Amino acid sequence: MKFSQTLFFLLYVTIVFAQPPIQLIPQPVSVQPQSGVFTLTKSTTIHYNQADGRAVAEMLSQQLNVPTGFGLSAKEGKSGKIQLNLNATPNSQLGGEGYTLDASSKAVVITANRPAGLFYGIQTLTQLLPKEIGSKKVVTATWTLPAVKITDYPRFGWRGIMLDVSRNFFTKTEVKQYIDQLAKLKYNTFHWHLTDDNGWRIEIKSLPKLTEVGAWRVPRAGHFGDRADPKPGEPATSGGFYTQDDIREIVAYAQVRNVTIVPEIDVPGHSMAALAAYPELSCTKAPVTVNPGTPFSEWYGNGTFKMKVENTLNPSDENVYAFLDKVFTEVAALFPNPYIHVGGDECYKGYWANDPGCQALMKQLNIRHVEDLQGYFMSRVEKILTAKGKKLLGWDEILEGGISPGATVMSWRGIKGGIEAAHAGHNVVMTPSTFAYLDYNQGDPTIDPPIYASLRTQKSYSYEPVPDGVDAKYILGGQGNLWTEQIPTLRYAEYMTYPRAWALSEVFWSPKTVKNWPDFVQRMESHFDRADVAQINYSRAIYDPIIRTNIKDGKLQLEMAGEIPGLDMYYTIDDTMPDQFSTKYSQPVNLPDGPITLRVATYRSGKPIGHLITLKRDDLQKRVGRF
């Protein structure tokens, strides 16, 4: 080989292999790296070939202009350096949300059947650009992206995240910000939990007391669930609600980002805020207040519980159904999607059992068990929704007492309810708490504020939404749920959402065959850097060890594992602070007797990376057989 040829070959190898790795979340169906890079400049043109692509093209130009300061504009045409094309003849492989992206040194062409596909294509495009693309101000960067050919389309049609705004209220601006983040991850459903015991958040004009009274509670600090009861005459000043104009604005904002909003009005239980406004709709008709986070129930560890305060609508009272007709009439007019979520979960029936009206209704219906009244209640609610042109969607408890064939089930108590519903021919959204509850602790429970369960990112990533033996046609998709009892701010909502929502986005979008945890970890860490630039909060719990104990030969034994590859765990039990020169964990350790304290620090490549975890002997003893 001549010197000039050798030089050319070395330059070619340098150009091709010096490019940064392609780190996309969720992982596309097919990614084929090519040689070269595309450079974004002030003279880059953005064109769309059909009028339906205009909104997406304009959104792209706005997204690029904030960090680059280039002032790019979108125009109709067919020769843009960034070209957005809608197919004249649909590509059956891509469906309604798929796209292809072909980037070379000369141009980037995104092609789709529908605007939704173009929208998801530009999300991938921005992830190919440097992390500074997420900056909220103009920055100096080399705006290049690697040449690549991508074909992509979703595995599931329902890719959702639920946000609970009852336990803690989030402003209109915050909700839009949260939706915007989800859309960039190719989520297409925002489940909006609008009502519960702790606040009614949606204006119902025909029932003004729902927000005049039900949207407000007495201010309380401290751990939710342990707070003091309201005092007589204490003003209720904490809370808020969305006007119907707010709702329309948020719905329109989401629609532009191809996100469908599914509202939830949680009935017949979880209705304390509604009963604070209209106590006559309960069995006892006793006055109640919007709950500020007091312990108003007793849980017995096996899924059963008792309410200390009534929070359930009376299924035997016709006024309840007149009330719900008014509520759902106004809700249905605000949300254009086919579904209204009606809750149906954790409905305590003790007050029903003691109510003469409920007993008379049971006799009239010829039912022996009070639990069956929920089936009657839900059938009445479904008739109301059907009259509004809506479909009933509820948590898996709606299966108890029977539901119509057209009802859709959201399986949260593990996967059992989803399996049962699918076998009965119901459509199902899989959202089991064991994989998808984003309010659970993400790492060691001694680090984050306490909550009753934990869920690591790796476990969320491992989830398979289609259970064995279930016909996949009944599984609409899946969803992560963020309950907000312990989440008072958007910043902390982000912390709890990410990186687990990154993991779930890949579960719901990407082909099952491309899932690879070590590969995802690399991409996740690149998205940590992107989130830092975009000022989005996230948890770094993946860098903390998993610490377990058991008893072996009468001795307390320590076992530790890393959630991600490449972690080194160093520990001490002699009341010294651990570092990389301390004992390195490699196998289970028998701990000595006595009042020891375990301290563990994680390192990678010789650098500290996780939280310091400190556990006294009593704490270690309590972990036997757990975690």
Domain-embedded: residue 435: yes
CA 512 to chain centre: 19
Question: Are 465 and 592 members of one domain?
Answer: no
User: Does residue 26 have a cis peptide bond before it, meaning omega lies within 30 degrees of 0?
Assistant: yes
**Does some domain include residue 4?**
no
Please name the residues in contact with 361: beta carbons below 8 A apart, sequence gap of 6 or more. Answer: 315, 316, 373, 376
Contact 50, 56 (CB under 8 A): no
For residue 34, give the CATH number of its domain: 3.30.379.10
Tell me, yes or no, whether 350 and 249 share the same domain.
yes
Helix (H) or strand (E) holding 198: none
Q: Is 580 among the domain residues?
A: yes
Considering the domain architecture, whether residues 592 and 491 belong to the same structural domain is answered as no
Does residue 5 sit within a domain?
no
CA 225 – CA 342 distance, rounded (Å): 24
Residue 11 lies in a domain: no
The single residue of 58, 249, 346, 420 carrying the catalytic annotation is: 346
Active-site residue flag, 330? no
> If phi over 0 gives left and psi between -120 and 50 gives alpha, with beta otherwise, what is residue 118?
alpha
Do 499 and 577 lie in a common domain? no
Answer yes or no: do 221 and 342 share one domain.
yes
Assess if residue 465 is contained within a domain: yes
- The string over 257-282, giving b where at least 16 C-beta atoms fall within 10 Å of a residue's C-beta and e elsewhere, is bbbbbbbbbbbbbbbbbbbbbbeebb
What is the C-alpha to C-alpha distance for residues 330 and 333, in angstroms, rounded to an integer? 5
Distances (CA, A) of 96 to 120, 347, 621: 11, 38, 54
Residue 8 lies in a domain: no
User: Among all chains, which residue has been given the structure tokens 């939280």?
Assistant: 611
- Model pTM score: 0.95
Residues 422 and 471 in one domain: yes
Say yes or no: 271 and 219 in one domain: yes
Clarify whether residues 320 and 361 are in a common domain. yes
Rounded-to-integer distance, Cα 319 and Cα 322, Å: 5
Of 388, 272, 396, the closest CA to residue 327 belongs to 388
State the Cα–Cα distance between residues 166 and 216, nearest whole angstrom.
10
* pLDDT number for residue 18: 55
CATH code of the domain in which 561 resides = 2.60.40
The alpha carbon of residue 457 and the mean position of all alpha carbons in its chain are separated, in whole angstroms, by 12
Domain ranges, residue 85: 21-152
**Residues 418 and 509 occupy one common structural domain:** yes
One-letter amino acid of 45: T
**Structural domain count, the chain:** 3
Residues 376 and 496 placed together within one structural domain of the fold = yes
Stretches where the chain sits below pLDDT 70 are 1-19, 627
Is the peptide bond preceding residue 499 cis, with omega within 30 degrees of 0? Answer: yes
Residue 450: CATH number of its domain: 3.20.20.80
In a domain, 573, yes or no: yes
Domain boundary among 490, 514, 541: 541
If we measure between CA atoms, which residue out of 32, 27, 83, 76 comes closest to residue 51?
76
Q: Given 152, 184, 199, which residue is the final one in a domain? A: 152
Q: Which of 129, 152, 175 is the last residue of a domain?
A: 152
The per-residue pLDDT for range 106-132, each reduced to its tens digit, is 999 999 999 999 999 999 999 999 999
Burial of residue 505 (number of CB atoms within 10 Å: 0-12, 13-18, 19+): buried
Q: Are residues 188 and 284 located together in one domain of the fold?
A: yes
Same domain? 83 vs 185: no
pLDDT one-digit tens code per residue, 294-352:
999 999 887 789 999 999 999 999 999 999 999 999 999 999 999 999 999 999 999 99
CA distance linking residue 102 with residue 114, whole number of Å: 17
Taking each helix axis as running N to C, give the angle between helix 318-334 and helix 373-387, from 0 to 180 degrees, rounded to the nearest 10: 40
